[in-house]
Chains A and B, each alone.
Chain A
Amino acid sequence: MSQDAAAAPRVSASPERAGRSRTPLQLAWRRLRRYRLAVVGGVTLVCLYAAMVLAPFLAPYALDYSDRSLFYAPPVGVHLIDARGRLHLRPFVYAYRVVDASLPAYAPDTSRTYDIRFFVHGAPYRLLWLVPSDIHLLGVDSPARLFLLGTDQFGRDLLSRLLYGSAVSLLIGILVVLITFPIGMILGGIAGYYGGIIDNVIMRSVEVLAAFPSFYLLLTLASVLPPTLSSGARLFMISAVFSFVGWGGLARVLRGIVLGIRDVEFVLAARAAGLPDLRVIVRHVLPTTASYVIVAATLTIPGVILGESGLSFLGLGVQEPSTSWGLLLAQAQSIEALTQFPWLLIPGLLIVIAVLAFNFLGDGVRDALDPRQRVA
């Protein structure tokens, strides 16, 4: 280490002031912004979560809205030029005309145009459970319908349901991380720090847990959840199930890391300063594992999103009428649906996008926190 170089700033203090007191996290943030894929992933996630929060406002229709006469309707066409070749300044749609209700087959009714309106009054909702409103970003007058991504078998708007369903899919990962990580960190930290019998007890129970085939355990636990549970409670219970299956892996890795950190001199110094054990673990040992934990979190979330999709796909996750991307995708199970109503695959696309975004971000964060790249 070059001491002179490091000592220099204090002599010529003023120009160095700006570079002063950057926390390690700030430094990592600066590096993170240089990874383009990570930035793309991060921006995508910000958009997804923003859409999730604003779902009732962005969605043209309410969660429970359905038009039974228009089941499996394809996405409505948005036009600027009408059937007579006239240019409209506002984009407009045509109403659906039922050609054959049994197939089903629909055609646009070109006799009249319906302008897409902004900030229309519609079904009332509460934004974030707080702000009451009935303003929707987009809407059209009846009898036209603004089914931008088509409808499902009950004539429910797919776009609206995707927006509402994102809450489950996007929150469950975070919820699971919030439950799993404190448990895994504390238990792994304690096991690694103390060693001996405590270590043995904790690690053997992790191994017992790991010996269960985890997806079957997940299925079993999810299937015993009472069907009468409210959707919020169900989301929480499913998160708890995932956490129960998931904390062991994290605890095991953290134990390994802590085992290595335990003998580093600053931990010894903290103990020599007379700090209680728990404080040494929480304040001195665990923060050192932060780079691993942050990366593990960003890579755990997509796994949980996929897991929830799987559960919902099998009918063990979220229950109708509330929804999630996995549950929406479950409608696209048959070849018939895939070939005739391909828009039902869009939830799958969103799952892929969200998972990829988390992975890109996770990779970027890992590189940004890698101490070997700490040049500056």
Chain B
Amino acid sequence: MAEPLLSVRSLKTYFYTDEGVVRAVDGMAYDLHKGETLGIVGESGSGKSVHALSIMRLIPSPPGKIVDGEILFEGRNLLKLSDEEMRRIRGNRIAMVFQEPMTSLNPVLTIGEQIAEAVILHQRLDKRAAWERAIEMLERVKIPSARQRVRDYPHQFSGGMRQRVMIAMALSCNPSVLLADEPTTALDVTIQAQILELMRELQREFGTAIIMITHNLGVVAEMCDNVVVMYAGRPVEETDVKRTFHDPRHPYTWGLLHSVPKLYERSERLIPIEGQPPSLVDLPPGCSFAPRCPFAMEVCTQVDPPTVSIEAGHAARCYLYTDKATEKDKQAATAAGLAASARSRGV
């Protein structure tokens, strides 16, 4: 495969609080290729959003700090750029769409002004051309009568419409990477489907690579080419979308798949993952999922598991695929994996 467009290497973002050091992102790593959609899945507090803000270098500092790692974008390490160089990448080469469409637009500026602002800044267009670009972008995201609505204020738009505006704004400078931080979480399902469809369409059109941050496996199945499952600030399983659902390997992924309700089968019980995600202040030694893991072995609670490559393009951070696990464990694991995968069909 070609050089990755964006490559995150052992990224660590810590927050230094009074309670101690919160390891929000602790060794995140993946590659993103041109035009690809990468899903980053995990439950609340797993560090998904913090990792996205780290890529944009928008971590509030203090208390936050990127303590280690590399973010290689088009061959340059974003963490080594000056503030000014980074500012020119933000919104221009890497754009971001936020979760909450009701609060991510400035209520006192018209949406046209807000879209044009970034265009004027990055593309060096004059006001008039930027305004035309704003209208064009609103048309692209299918806002009816864009030419009139460009003069409207955010409060005159519904949630779904605002998210379209946000997407228009993010794509207005034709970035090569779009970070979408739970872009559909705050919307109702019918609007969600529209927004996802729109993003897919625009991706085909613009060739933008998308990092889709979500906790919704349905969104992943719908949108993504590859998936990184994140737990307690670390990637626990990475593979393509097909294998995520059909051949999941990490016990946490199984748990996620079991936690999704299926449409037609009421009788089948959901199997929630027991317990809570660990406090990121004092992570347990060893695998951070071990306390909740039904397959936890002794070694799991002692030493952090290595990332095991199961086959080409499929890696899991788990002892089940090392020689530490007994045959019996491995058989039980295979069965559990099959069960989870069976459940996931039809998601």
Residues on the B chain within 8 Å of A274, using CB: 87-92, 118, 121-122
Q: Does B324 count as interface, using CB distance less than 8 angstroms?
A: no
B181-203 interface with A by 8 A CB criterion: 188, 191
Residue of A nearest to B149 (CB): A10
Q: Which of A22, A273, A288 contacts B95 (CB 8 A)?
A: A273
- In the complex, the answer to whether B58 meets A271 with C-beta atoms within 8 Å is yes
Tell yes or no: B302 within 8 A of A by CB.
no
**Residues of chain B at interface, number, CB under 8 A:** 46
A21 at the interface (CB under 8 A from B): yes
User: Which residues of B in the span 49-97 have a Cβ within 8 Å of any Cβ on A?
Assistant: 56, 58, 60, 62, 87-92, 95-96
Binary flags per residue of A245-287, CB closer than 8 Å to B gives 1, else 0:
0000000000000000001111011111111100000011001
Question: Is B159 in contact with A24, judged by CB distance below 8 angstroms?
Answer: no
Interface of B is mostly: loop
Residue A85, interface by CB 8 Å: no
Most chain A beta-carbon neighbours within 10 Å: one of B89, B90, B92: B90
Known: A263-B60, A272-B91. A1 touches B102 (CB 8 A): yes
A282 to chain B, nearest CB (A): 12
Give the residues in chain A near B191, CB-CB below 8 Å.
3
Question: How many residue pairs, one in A and one in B, have C-beta atoms under 8 Å apart?
Answer: 105
Residues of chain A from 1 to 33 with CB closer than 8 A to chain B in the complex: 1, 3-4, 6-7, 9-10, 13, 20-24
- Say if the beta carbon of B105 comes within 8 Å of chain A: yes
A20 to B117, CA, bound (A): 22
- Does the CB pair B106–A270 fall under 8 Å? yes
With A13-B145, A263-B60: A269-B151 Cβ-Cβ less than 8 Å? no
B117 touches A283 (CB 8 A): yes
Interchain CA distance A264-B107 in the complex, whole Å: 11
Cross-chain contact of B90 among A4, A196, A271 (Cβ < 8 A): A271
Q: Which of A6, A268, A270, A271 contacts B158 (CB 8 A)?
A: A6
**Cβ–Cβ contact A10 & B144, under 8 A:** yes
Say yes or no: A269 contacts B105, CB within 8 Å. yes
Contacting pair A288 B92 (CB below 8 A): no
Instruction: Flag if B158 contacts A276 (CB, 8 Å).
Output: no
A40 within 8 A of B: no
Main secondary structure of the interface of A (DSSP, over half): helix
Nearest B residue to A273, CB-CB: B91
The answer to whether the Cβ of A314 comes within 8 Å of any Cβ in the partner chain is no
**Chain B residues near A196 (CB-CB < 8 A):** 62
Taking A1-B159, A21-B152 as contacts, is the C-beta distance between A272 and B58 under 8 angstroms? Answer: yes
Does B160 count as interface, using CB distance less than 8 angstroms? yes
- Pair A7/B118 contact, Cβ less than 8 Å: no
A35 to chain B, nearest CB (A): 22
| Chain B residue nearest to A6 in the complex (CB) | B158
Tell me how far the C-beta of B137 lies from the nearest C-beta in chain A, rounded to whole angstroms.
13
Query: Number of contact residues on A: which range applies?
Result: 20 to 34
CB-CB under 8 A from B17, the residues of chain A are none
B104 adjacent to chain A (CB < 8 Å): yes
B98 and A269: CB pair below 8 A? yes
Known: A10-B144, A275-B121, A284-B106. A21 touches B95 (CB 8 A): no
Q: Given contacts A268-B98, A273-B118, A283-B117, is CB(A21)–CB(B91) below 8 Å?
A: no
From 106 to 151 in chain B, residues with beta carbon under 8 angstroms from any chain A beta carbon are 106-110, 117-118, 121-122, 144-145, 148-149, 151
Nearest Cβ in chain B — how far from A288, in angstroms?
7
A264 CA / B100 CA spacing, docked (Å): 10
A267, closest chain B residue (CB): B106
Bound Cα distance from A4 to B159, whole angstroms? 9
How many angstroms between the C-alpha atoms of A24 and B109 in the bound complex?
Answer: 9
**B-contact bits for A29-49, CB 8 A (1 contact / 0 none):** 000000000000000000000
Q: In the complex the two chains form, is B145's CB within 8 Å of A266's CB?
A: no
Q: Is the CB of B104 within 8 A of A6?
A: no
Q: How far is the CA of A20 from the CA of B87 in the complex (A)?
A: 35
B153 at the interface (CB under 8 A from A): yes
Does B87 lie within 8 Å of A276, measured CB to CB?
A: yes
> How far, in whole Å, are A266 and B95 apart by their CA atoms in the complex?
14
A290 proximal to B (CB < 8 A): yes
Query: For residue A13, which residue of chain B has the nearest CB?
Result: B145
Q: Is the CB of A273 within 8 A of B169?
A: yes
Contacts A273-B90, A273-B118, A274-B89 given; does A24 touch B103 at CB 8 Å:
no
Q: Which residues of chain A come closer than 8 Å to B295, judged between CB atoms? A: none
Q: Which of A10, A265, A276, A290 contacts B104 (CB 8 A)?
A: A265
Complex: chain B residue closest to A10, CB-CB: B144
Which A residues are in CB contact (< 8 Å) with B100? 265
A20 touches B156 (CB 8 A): yes
- Among candidates B98, B99, B118, B153, residue contacting A275 with C-beta atoms closer than 8 Å: B118
CB distance from B63 to the nearest CB of A (A): 10
Q: Which A-chain residue is minimally distant from B84 (CB atoms)?
A: A276
Closest residue of chain A to B103 (Cβ to Cβ) is: A265
| A21 near B151: Cβ-Cβ < 8 Å | yes
Inside 8 A of A271's CB, which chain B residues have their CB? Answer: 58, 90
Check B161 for interface membership: any CB of A closer than 8 A.
yes
Assembly CA distance A279 to B44 (angstroms):
33
Q: How far is the CA of A269 from the CA of B96 in the complex (A)?
A: 8
- 17 A–B contacts from the bound complex (CB under 8 Å): A3-B159, A3-B188, A6-B158, A10-B145, A20-B148, A21-B152, A265-B104, A269-B98, A272-B91, A272-B96, A273-B90, A274-B88, A275-B87, A275-B117, A283-B109, A288-B107, A288-B108
Beyond the given A10-B144, A275-B121, A276-B87, could you list 6 further A-B residue pairs with CB under 8 A, ordered by the A residue number? Answer: A6-B157, A266-B106, A266-B107, A268-B58, A269-B104, A287-B108
Residues of A within 8 A of B (CB): 1, 3-4, 6-7, 9-10, 13, 20-24, 195-196, 263-266, 268-276, 283-284, 287-288, 290
Those 4 A-B pairs whose CB atoms lie nearest each other, nearest first: A274-B91, A273-B91, A274-B90, A3-B158
